[in-house]
Amino acid sequence: MFAGFFRTAMCLLILTGLVSCGGGGGSSNTAPTPIPQPQPEPEPEPPVTVVGEGPFIVVDQFGYLPDAKKIAVLRDPVTGFDSEDTYTPGASLQVVNTLDNSVVFSGSATPWLDGEIAATSGDRIWLFDFSSVTATGNYQIVDTEQDLRSPAFAINDNVYREVLVQAVRTFFYQRAGHTKTEQFAGASWADDASHMGPLQDANARRYNSPDDEGSERDLHGGWYDAGDYNKYTNWTASYIVDLLHAYRENTHVWTDDFNIPESGNGVPDLLDEVKWGLDSLIRMQNADGSVLSIVGLASASPPSSATGASLYGDASTSATLSSAAAFAYGAKVFAALSTPEFNSYAADLRTRALRAWNWANANPAVIFRNNDEAAGTAGLGAGQQEVDDTERGFKRLVAAIYLYDLTGDISYRDYVDANYQTAPMFANWWLSPFRASIQRPLLYYTALDDATAATADAIRNRYVELWEGDDGWGAATNRRDPYGAFISDYTWGSNAVTSLAGGMFADQQTYNLGQRDTAQIRNAAAGYLHYLHGVNPLGKVYLSNMGDFGAENSVDQFYHTWFAHGSALWDSVSNSAYGPPPGFLVGGPNPSYDWDERCPGVSSLCGSAQPQPPYGQPAQKSYTDFNNSWPLNSWSVTENSNGYQTAYIRLLARYVK
């Protein structure tokens, strides 16, 4: 193009007489000697800085509180399934108001650890701090040089309110024996009451006496535990305790308008949900104070179509101690409502807690192992709810704490004083979110009136000392995980561990531990929320179907009997009519994932290789949205659990007004 333009210009000069087209004579036919043409320098190729789909800029897709620390993570994948993607941030980044596209902040990103590759993600990371942006609004992070934008996010004083509502409502969807009308469940997930047919929950029979009418018990109610429909007493009791703590740690959050059947009755909806769980434990308690261990429920999709019999397991010491703690703490909280109805309810719970404690003391080692061929219980339930001697000792210690809180009886305090040092934080100098079930009740003991001062001081001091180490404040202040949510190991249920780790920071504010100020504590704990809300290598909000609530990339499908693989209605958000309901927290990245050991030779369902991801990836990339059952066994990665949910709710509620 340039040479053609040059020749045309020369002709114009000839026509104007400024240049001659001929040689020396007018009659010569000899062509003129060509004039050398200047050649343009080739344009330099721009450096390749973006390859692939990313995500490259990850943020909390719901948003941030105005006074919170706000850090976007920019990522260049180096190892893992996305290693062929490439991104190098531009020299300047912008925070843009999506309403009018105005730039409210500009700055540069800082390399994490001078460009070191993060082992848990396989990513090279840059951090972009935009904490100075505090005005209410909706925003994106923009790399104009690379023409990239983050997902949109909000900044406001109550940015997580609707997220909390949806997370709590998952317990309504998990209710067994309760009609889910369109008014409360929505047309997409309406269903008749499940497991209320012949020989089901209202007429459940003993696991080894399915033909014995005399063994029938009314055990209706309660919650499906996870993606299976079984009801496990040890775990149900722990969910109740966690939800009660979530209530008491931020009582003004819990309003009466979460759109469940009890909404509008004058009682916070969270307590209505807790009561649903407590009522089911009441039905599980025997007259002597012992508590049945499990009810195994039939599977089907939707739940109301399940027709198989419900079978229950025998009472156990562990189930009875777990229930004693739940009854005792429930009695404390419901008595504080100070109404005639709940005064009576609390008094009944108190009596049940004492009876359970007394039976467990008289029967300290009654074991019931479900789904155990050697024990004759194969097929009863799925997960193993029974515990060993050490864990049973921890359950006794926890029950004593809540009974002391309820009664003020010093015999329970004496038991705590004599046994608190058996906890791992004392016995093994190990403070970890993996042991939150014993550590958090011990912290609660330190705040009780008339707790033994020496015991309380020992617990508080040991907690502070250990959490100042590399896995606690050392990890937070040094940003040991570039995504801001360090945990020591990624295992089955890593998202629950992440929630619990965030809770361990938040607990320092609740119990006034250490020398950290409120802003430090809240920002450290919030980093774990941000991770679950999208600040992770996948840019994934680890809650289901949250597109209507601000998430650009939330969980599309997860393992659950109701929302089963292949269901035309509920399989996935993107490829079925409805997908699963909003708000379920999935298990999360699990680098130990593998398909069934009999693959690929036995079953044609396996495929030629394990799905990657989650298989064979850096820890934080060991996740994908899938809900295949056997033999791909997605449950170890994507299944929900009420335990994951309560850990998340308890953390999230601290950031809601």
> Tens digit of pLDDT for each residue in 621-640?
999 999 999 999 999 999 99
Q: Which of 353, 387, 421 is the last residue of a domain?
A: 387
> Is the peptide bond between 613 and the residue preceding it cis, with omega within 30 degrees of 0?
yes
- Average pLDDT on 92-111 reads 98
Cα gap 420→408, rounded to integer Å: 18
pLDDT digits (tens, 9 = 90+) for 442-494: 999 999 999 999 999 999 999 999 999 999 999 999 999 999 999 999 999 99
- Average pLDDT on 263-292 reads 98
pLDDT digits (tens, 9 = 90+) for 121-167: 999 999 999 999 999 999 999 999 999 999 999 999 999 999 999 99
- In the predicted structure, residue 45 carries a pLDDT above the cut 70: no
| CATH number for the domain that contains residue 223 | 1.50.10.10
Cα gap 527→69, rounded to integer Å: 9
Owning domain of residue 276: 160-387
The model's confidence at residue 31, banded by pLDDT at 50, 70 and 90, is: very low
**8 Å CB contact between 109 and 146:** no
Q: Which of 114, 130, 155 is the last residue of a domain?
A: 155
Q: Is residue 278 part of a domain?
A: yes
pLDDT digits (tens, 9 = 90+) for 317-352: 999 999 999 999 999 999 999 999 999 999 999 999
| Statement to judge: residues 96 and 225 lie in one domain | no
Cα gap 493→415, rounded to integer Å: 32
Q: How many CB atoms lie within 10 A of CB 630?
A: 14
Q: Is residue 521 part of a domain?
A: no
Q: Which of 387, 408, 440 is the last residue of a domain?
A: 387
Handedness of CA 284, 288, 293, 298 (dihedral sign): negative
Q: What are the residues whose beta carbons fall under 8 Å from the beta carbon of 17, sequence distance 6 or more?
A: none
pTM above 0.85, yes or no: yes
Q: Which two tokens stand for residue 94?
A: 């912008």
Summary mean pLDDT of the chain: 93
pLDDT of residue 15: 31
Amino acid letter, 419:
N
- In the predicted structure, residue 35 carries a pLDDT above the cut 90: no
328 against 28, higher pLDDT:
328
DSSP string covering 540-573: -EEEET-GGGT-SSEE-----STT-TT-TTTS-T
| Statement to judge: residues 209 and 249 lie in one domain | yes
Rg for the chain, CA atoms, rounded: 31
pLDDT digits (tens, 9 = 90+) for 443-457: 999 999 999 999 999
The model's confidence at residue 400, banded by pLDDT at 50, 70 and 90, is: very high
- In the predicted structure, residue 601 carries a pLDDT above the cut 70: yes
**Alpha-helical regions (H) of 291-339:** 317-335
- Residues counted in the chain: 657
pLDDT of residue 602: 79
Q: Is residue 175 part of a domain?
A: yes
- In the predicted structure, residue 41 carries a pLDDT above the cut 80: no
| Statement to judge: residues 133 and 217 lie in one domain | no
- In the predicted structure, residue 387 carries a pLDDT above the cut 50: yes
| C-alpha pair distances (Å), 505 with each of 469, 498, 591 | 13, 11, 25
Cα gap 232→146, rounded to integer Å: 52
| Statement to judge: residues 164 and 222 lie in one domain | yes
pLDDT digits (tens, 9 = 90+) for 352-379: 999 999 999 999 999 999 999 999 999 9
